[in-house]
Amino acid sequence: MTTSLILSVIVGIALLLILVLYFRIHAFISLLIASIVVGLLAGLNAHDVINTIQNGMAGTLGFVATVVGLGAILGAILEHSNGTVAIVNFMIKKFGINRSPSALMLSGFIIAIPVFFDVAFIILVPVIYALQRKTKKSLLLYAIPLLAGLGTTHAFIPPTPGPVAVADIINVPLGWVILVGFICGIPTVIISGLIFGKFISKRIHIEAPKLNNPIESDIDLPPVAIVLSIIFIPIALILLNTSINAFPAFTEQNATLTTVFKFLGHPFIALIIANLLAWYFLGIRKNYSKDELLKISSKSLAPAGTIILLTGAGGVFKQVLVDSGAGLAIAELMTNLGLPTIVFAFITAAIIRIIQGSTTVAMITAAGLVSPILVLGDYSNLELATIVIAIASGAAILSHVNDSGFWLVSQYLGLTEKQTFKSWTVMTTLLAFTGFTTTLIISAIT
């Protein structure tokens, strides 16, 4: 029975990859079809499969849709107000030209919290072009740290969609994921961004494209203090809520204050507060009309909708594994093999990522496979958060020709395919292994 259940999962994953890669069917539909096939092969009847789809979708989207939607709107307002450029200009001014790679790494790390990776990179490309023209050094000296900062935060730290989805599927509070994401993110950006950026820039010299112009010096930028405050206020509120829960004596003695903190620190409320602040300080105060802000907000929900539906399909896949018993069969196999859950999480995400290219699909599928295993163990929130980052690390590994990010970087930096492999692909692999190694260290000392 166990063998047949595991085979049903293998068939389902193989079908998912065939539908996505060969037939080019959208991952949302492909995940649903794969879930149905796994359910039927695992012994669920047709009626149970339909109920599982509904329950899995509903159970996942209630939280994820709200957080991802609010995060997308916040990022769009930050983008249109030139808040991203304000952060980079401020960092470069403080760090100086000679340490601008560090400034770009830190800027990318901060900016990717509310802004999607590809959008942030395209907006900031003129900045690294300008730096290259001024210093005459390789464009990669500035691009790699920026990309590492953007990529690490996009994979590790909520409210970016990937970690939010995985955290919801395996049921861990976002505050813990934010905390572990920051801890793992620091060595990750230093190694994959700063250290590797200096290394590869000495071996591949790239100049900025001559047809592109640097950002105009008189561009209207919002105060950087306001931009940084809007980004970090929701994170601070969520972390405060998480911290309070760790001190039961305080919560008992200060019931009213605790209730207020828990309310303000819930991701829904924290992100609504950040959105209202952005709407006023980066919108109304910057002379955007209410209609313009409405259009910006509405447009931002288009890419968010795709991610939300993908996450819902991932929730369906997880629910099929739970209801059919296939997840339990995988857990028993893992126990027999002696493979730690965190290692299984990383390897699964990495394999799916390398084969089909999408980080989001890899994260969601891996989370669905790992979630049923966690039911059998006694995991703390910290341990669950390290598993989230392990999945995120695996899903970021070895970006190559089947990943749109590979071609985005190649096009904007003017790299050949070979140069992109040597720079971008190696950087994403270093990012993945550094992040995963850090999760192993955290797991070992807790």
The answer, yes or no, to whether residue 322 has pLDDT greater than 90, is no
Q: Residue 309 has which token pair?
A: 């539906």
For residue 1, what pLDDT is reported? 64
pTM of the model: 0.89
Exposed, middle or buried by CB within 10 Å (0-12, 13-18, 19+), for 214? Answer: middle
Percent pLDDT > 90 in the chain is 65
For residue 186, what pLDDT is reported? 96
Domain, as residue range, for 22: 2-445
pLDDT band for 181, please (50, 70, 90 cuts): very high
Per the structure, how many domains does the chain have? Answer: 1
306-315 residue pLDDT tens: 888 888 898 8
What is the average pLDDT across 205-219? 65
Region for residue 415 given its phi and psi (left: phi exceeds 0; alpha: psi -120 to 50; beta: otherwise):
beta
What is the average pLDDT across 358-386? 90
Q: For residues 6 and 341, what is the distance between their CA atoms, to the nearest angstrom?
A: 17
Percent pLDDT > 70 in the chain is 98
The answer, yes or no, to whether residue 214 has pLDDT greater than 50, is no
